[in-house]
Amino acid sequence: MGISILKTLLSRFLSFWLMFQVLAASRAGAGSFSVDQYKEALGKSSLFWEAQRSGKLPSTNRVPWRADSALQDGAQAGVDLTGGYYDAGNNCKYNFPMAFTVTMISWAVVEYGDTIAAVGELPQALAVIRWGTDYFLKSFFPPSLLYAGVGDEAADNACWERPETMDTPRTEYKVDQRAGGSDLAGEMAAALAAASIAFRPIDPPYADTLLSTAKQLFRFADQYRGLYSDTVTQVQSSYKSQGFADELLWAAAWLHRASADGTYLQYITTGASSLGALGIATEFSWETKLAGAQVLVARQALNCARGNDPVVFQMKAAAEQYVCHYVDGHVATTPDGLAWVRELPLQYAMSAAFVAMVYSDYLAAAGGVLTCSGTIYQPEQSLSDVSNVITGAIVGGPAQDGSFSLDRGNFNKTEPTIYINPGFYGAAARLVRGTAAALAPACASSAAATLTAAPPSPPAPTTPAPSDAPPTLIPVPVAVASAPGTPPPSAFTPTGAPPDPLTVAPAPSPASLTATSPAPSIALPTVTSGPSTAPPTTTPVPSTASPTVPPVPTTAPPTAAPVLSTFPPAPAPAPSTALLTAQAPVTDPASPAMTPITPPPTPAPTSSIPAPFSTPAPPATAPAPGSPPPTTASAVPTPSPAPGSSFPTTAPSSGPASLTFSTTVDSSWAQGGQTFFQYRVTITNVSKGTARDVVLTCAGFSPVDYWNLVPLGNGQCALPAWHAPLAPGESYMFFYVQTGDPAQFSVAP
């Protein structure tokens, strides 16, 4: 099945490697591409990534014309951002596509590491991965400061210079809790989680560091929802993100595989609706990871059928639709037969080939087959023709009509980038192996194939603290409520010994007028960080204590990682709001607490998703998450209050503990002759005391749906039991849907 796709995707693309090709010159008169040449391809493919290295190069550098470069990256911000990879022909470092590159190379090692080791290329592959992951560890300052890249694209493109002698600006770009970057943080979490599996057999301490940091990045990605390119506007011309839901799914899937922790799978299944997990992807690339996440989850369905949530099997079906999309010829092709999704076509063709190969192996391990358009596909082996062969990287590729010209200005066709090669690298490794091999069940503790290599020494991060480090948060576990309209969490529990045990605590799910009882929800772990010279280790946690993970080595100020919020993404930048005030019980101001920010959900997709997700605020006519779809096609203009409206109230009153309430309209829509509003209420503790056991008076509260709030009857509501106390300056959000004006909330006497 996977090889059949390669006949379409792989057989023709090699003829377009006109600048720096992966293979050495083929034998004269050779009519086929031999396994030996694929072996050679593995070695020469990694040379391109080595040529793209930034920073101080090691003595093992194999590219003679490269030397140290960009040794002051990060200095303007007082941090060490040296290392990583230059993206393409310029000298910029973009962490978003770089992280995808590292994830994909790690995936190749995870699936085919035994083959890569057998041909002597494993040390080079791990070196390529680590050059990226070491840089990512430098780029993240837990809990919520993440650097997105270094360089000035406009200046670089205006003056092509060697990185060793460049004099263009080395500007640093970052995201934090004030302007989230869920897509960037999610992809970096996926990269570190995947890399932790690759390093687990030969360097467990380093693997622990990668996995622990991946979890912290995931919390940041989920807690502070937003697109990194909305903040780092300099990347919008090259690497603008269209959505972050796929990165959250992708990261959770890798964390599940790396930790054998079923909570991450539950995150996917319970958030499937709001995250679009069941959409049908038509491409897989640095920007769109849905297909990859679905294939990883499909492995769970194939190997561990019992106890899985139905969503797991639905995602498996969606993964197969992605594969069949190529097998059945639903993708445009060039006259030579190259699958052509869009400009820079080789990255899409190679990524599709690799994903198909991986899925074919998952099928083979489970004894399954795939039927596309009535034809049954099973794993097989095929070799492809090749004509032009030089040395180096893979360029963008031809136009849809098959035309190609060596025009340096036409970067869509002639420029190689670091994220094009990984798909070919993984597919080549699979072809070298030849046949599918049995895979460890996804429900057991996962690890890469047994590899033999000298274990490198653990990393010694020396990143200084940023001058504008984010404020310290003192976290406590926060449960994650089920996304509206999704099935309850699965009872599946992994059989392995996950390094980060999670607990399950009761929490209210979005309820309707006829279903108000709370549903179970996932209590996610607290991950702390602080300075340390020893790699993290796993510490068993008693059932009566909040689970924690040991600190990640860093010299950044000791701050705690934010806990996960609920699945749905946050709305667009919140409008200004007015404040309500009330009194709440007071406790010791030093009591630990954190802000369980719980953004409203994004409506579930109603059709297939051929394009990347988008994350703007819900339109005025969008249905509320968890509410039934409109039964009529008519849409009426949004009446007042309009989305973004806030409601004026009195100023905070004096007292030892004072809570303010702000209400904002997130969206509205017409259905059945009525207008529904989705309201978001933010409670903020503006006093110096910690507010606990908050009970509210809820006047005018007649919702058709609500979440993160517990109605008590008699006009009163309460914050859920799993919710942390509100420390001074901290906030909490809840949401509800009703017709007419908003309810009025105050602290009950």
Q: Is pLDDT above 70 for 415?
A: no
Nearest residue to 86 via CA among 136, 150, 157, 42: 150
Q: Residue 456, preceding bond cis, omega within 30 degrees?
A: no
Cα separation, 242 vs 230, whole angstroms: 10
Question: Do 234 and 173 touch, CB atoms closer than 8 A?
Answer: yes
* Banded model confidence at residue 722, pLDDT cuts 50, 70, 90: low
Residue 79: the pLDDT is: 95
H or E stretch at 696: strand 695-699
pLDDT mean over 616-627 = 36
pLDDT in tens, 310-323: 899 999 999 999 98
Q: Is pLDDT above 50 for 688?
A: yes
Of residues 558 and 407, more confidence is placed in 407
- Percentage of the residues of the chain whose pLDDT score is greater than 70: 56
Angle of helix 95-118 relative to helix 345-366, nearest 10 degrees?
Answer: 50
- What tokens were used for 213? 């940091």
SS3 379: coil
Cα separation, 78 vs 545, whole angstroms: 38
Cα separation, 478 vs 527, whole angstroms: 12
Question: Do 635 and 621 touch, CB atoms closer than 8 A?
Answer: yes
Three-point CA angle 229, 235, 240, nearest 5°: 55
Ranges of beta strands (E only) in 551-611 are 580-583, 586-587
H or E stretch at 682: strand 674-685
Q: Is pLDDT above 50 for 572?
A: no
pLDDT in tens, 646-676: 554 433 433 445 889 999 887 787 888 889 8
> Cα–Cα distances in Å, from 364 out to 292, 316, 361, 699?
18, 15, 5, 60
Question: Do 685 and 726 touch, CB atoms closer than 8 A?
Answer: yes
Domain boundaries, the chain: 2-433, 573-749
Q: Which residues contact 480 (CB under 8 A, 6 or more apart)?
A: 267, 270, 507, 521, 522, 523, 524, 564, 565, 566, 567
Q: What is the 3-state secondary structure (H, E, C) of 105-126?
A: HHHHHHHHHHHHHHCCCHHHHH
588 burial via Cβ count (<10 Å: 0-12, 13-18, 19+): exposed
H or E stretch at 663: strand 658-671
Q: Which residues contact 278 (CB under 8 A, 6 or more apart)?
A: 272, 311, 314, 315, 318, 605
Q: Is pLDDT above 70 for 587?
A: no
Most confident of 98-107, 236-245, 477-486, 609-618: 98-107
* Banded model confidence at residue 381, pLDDT cuts 50, 70, 90: very low
Q: Which residues contact 619 (CB under 8 A, 6 or more apart)?
A: 667
Q: Is pLDDT above 60 for 175?
A: yes
Single-letter amino acid code for the residue at 147: Y
Question: Do 94 and 183 touch, CB atoms closer than 8 A?
Answer: no
pLDDT in tens, 689-720: 888 888 889 999 989 877 778 888 889 988 87
Q: Is pLDDT above 90 for 208?
A: yes
Residue 595: the pLDDT is: 31
- The phi, psi pair for 8, rounded to 5°, reads -85, -40
Single-letter amino acid code for the residue at 146: L
Measured over the CA atoms of residue 242, residue 244, residue 246 and residue 250, the dihedral's sign is positive
* Alpha helix stretches (DSSP H) within 119-234: 122-139, 153-158, 182-199, 204-223, 228-231
Residue 429: the pLDDT is: 57
Q: Is pLDDT above 80 for 103?
A: yes
CATH 1.50.10.10 fits 2-433, yes or no: yes
Question: Do 339 and 8 touch, CB atoms closer than 8 A?
Answer: yes
pLDDT mean over 111-123 = 90
**85 forms bridges with which residues in the sheet?**
53
Cα separation, 257 vs 246, whole angstroms: 17
Of residues 592 and 662, more confidence is placed in 662
Residue 447: the pLDDT is: 37
Residue 724: the pLDDT is: 57
Of residues 507 and 79, more confidence is placed in 79
pLDDT mean over 14-27 = 29
Cα separation, 333 vs 507, whole angstroms: 50
Cα separation, 361 vs 691, whole angstroms: 54
Rg of the chain over all Cα atoms, to the nearest angstrom? 26
Cα separation, 727 vs 684, whole angstroms: 9
Residue 197: the pLDDT is: 98
pTM over 0.75: no
The CATH number, out of the four listed (2.60.40.10, 2.60.40.290, 3.30.70.3460, 1.10.730.10), of the domain defined by the range 573-749 = 2.60.40.290
Q: Is pLDDT above 70 for 291?
A: yes
pLDDT mean over 583-608 = 33
Please state whether 46 falls in left (phi above 0), alpha (psi between -120 and 50) or beta.
Answer: alpha
* Banded model confidence at residue 214, pLDDT cuts 50, 70, 90: very high
Most confident of 66-80, 155-169, 325-339, 490-504: 66-80
| Mean pLDDT computed over every residue of the chain | 67
pLDDT in tens, 671-681: 888 898 988 88
* Banded model confidence at residue 430, pLDDT cuts 50, 70, 90: low
Q: Is pLDDT above 70 for 357?
A: yes
